[in-house]
Structure 1
Amino acid sequence: MRYLKITAQDDYDNDVIDAVYLEFFDGINPKPDAEALVMNTSKHDHGKLKWVLADDIDGNGVCNKVDVDLARALARQFLKFKWWKVDPPFDRYLEIYSEDLDLDGKPDLVRLRFHQGEGVPSDATLVKAAACVFLNDCAGGNVSLHVNTNPTDDARDAALVVGLCRDFLKCDWNNTRTTGPCSLIGEQG
């Protein structure tokens, strides 16, 4: 299964988050297939995320400004959730993945799973979750939102979920299957 894991850290030990790590995994391989690092360049840059180093995260075969802009957008969206700690252990992370519910070759469900703990994402480390279903309209307004968090969550939180899901879909890092013809009749010899 393909998924994105996002973590944030206080690398300069100045009590602010100054580094956001994006790791794109494919299957159970313990190493990411693509990575991005988004950082502030000094203590005066808090929240600006000026410095970006990104692999080809949109899957077009080229590392370019599009990848940099996409990494920065995902990092900024992630920080708005405040799912991080400035003190070690930096064990909070967000797992994001998409699915193709209607098997048309395009993702229409994006899941956000907020974890706390080390190792690969599991139900034991899951703290809260949200899902966004794009009803054949990833760019438009046909969205069904499902959030499993605090009952005090409001429209702002829902907008954050939808925004991050839309940005994630731009990565084209999804779990879609191309269906082929189905053969129920065995070959006769």
Structure 2
Amino acid sequence: MRYLKVIAQDPRDSGQPDSLYFRFYEGEQLLREATMLERQQLTTLGTTYLKCAWFNAGDREERHLRIFSLNPSADGTPESVRLHFHEGPTIIYKAAAHDLDNDGAFEVILSSDVDNDGHANRTDRNRVRALVRAFLKLGW
């Protein structure tokens, strides 16, 4: 399975992350870090991810997001995009966007409290939608 791993770090322990990494994986093998052009394309994804308040104190990497698409019909368009928020190897919570009729629009957004504000609401669904759109722009 191919996925994008997003890691935010707060190396100065200021309460706000100031390092953001985008890494592309195939299974557990790191393929590469995002190129400069890809980092520009990932600006929205990074900004939205930072609003999720899922970052690491110091230079740790335990907390991260893995985002990937599924195409069971094998027609080249994703029917589902999944977001797994990890703490180490454990998935702490998940979110997903599903295209039920394979028309390119995601009709169903499933999410919990992805921005860690204590409420699972429309804002969380909008954050998931923004993360999915930004990820799909990569065409990966």
Bin the TM-score by the shorter chain. Answer: 0.7 to 0.9
Name the structure with the higher strand share.
2
TM normalised by structure 1 equals 0.63
1:76 positional shift: 0.9
Q: How many residues align?
A: 135
What CA RMSD, in Å, does the superposition of the two structures yield over aligned residues? 2.3
Q: Which structure 1 segments of 5+ residues have no match?
A: 37-54, 56-62, 174-189
Q: Does 1:143 pair with 2:110?
A: no
CA contact (8 A) 2:63 2:85 kept: yes
Structure-1 separation of matches of 2:75 and 2:119: 36
Structure-1 separation of matches of 2:58 and 2:25: 26
Q: How does 1:55-66 map to 2 (within 5 A)?
A: 55=35, 64=37
Q: Does 1:128 pair with 2:78?
A: no
2:43 corresponds to which of 68, 72, 94 = 72
Q: Does 1:152 pair with 2:119?
A: yes
Q: Which residue of 2 aligns with 1:106?
A: 77
Q: Which residue of 2 aligns with 1:18?
A: 18
1:41-63 per-residue CA deviation (whole Å, 9 max, x = no partner) reads xxxxxxxxxxxxxx2xxxxxxx6
Q: Which residue of 2 aligns with 1:162?
A: 129
CA contact (8 A) 2:9 2:60 kept: no
1:95 positional shift: 0.6
1:109 positional shift: 0.5
- Letter of the 1:164 counterpart: L
Q: Percent identity?
A: 34
Structure-1 separation of matches of 2:112 and 2:8: 22
Q: Does 1:81 pair with 2:52?
A: yes
CA contact (8 A) 1:98 1:109 kept: yes
Q: Does 1:34 pair with 2:1?
A: no
1:90 positional shift: 4.0
- Letter of the 1:158 counterpart: R
Structure-2 separation of matches of 1:84 and 1:127: 13
Structure whose alpha-carbon radius of gyration is higher: 1
TM normalised by structure 2 equals 0.83
- Letter of the 2:131 counterpart: L
Question: 156-165 vs 100-109, which deviates more?
Answer: 100-109
Structure-1 separation of matches of 2:76 and 2:99: 14
Q: Which residue of 2 aligns with 1:172?
A: 139
CA change 1:75–1:23 in 2 (3 A) is same
Name the structure with the higher helix share.
2
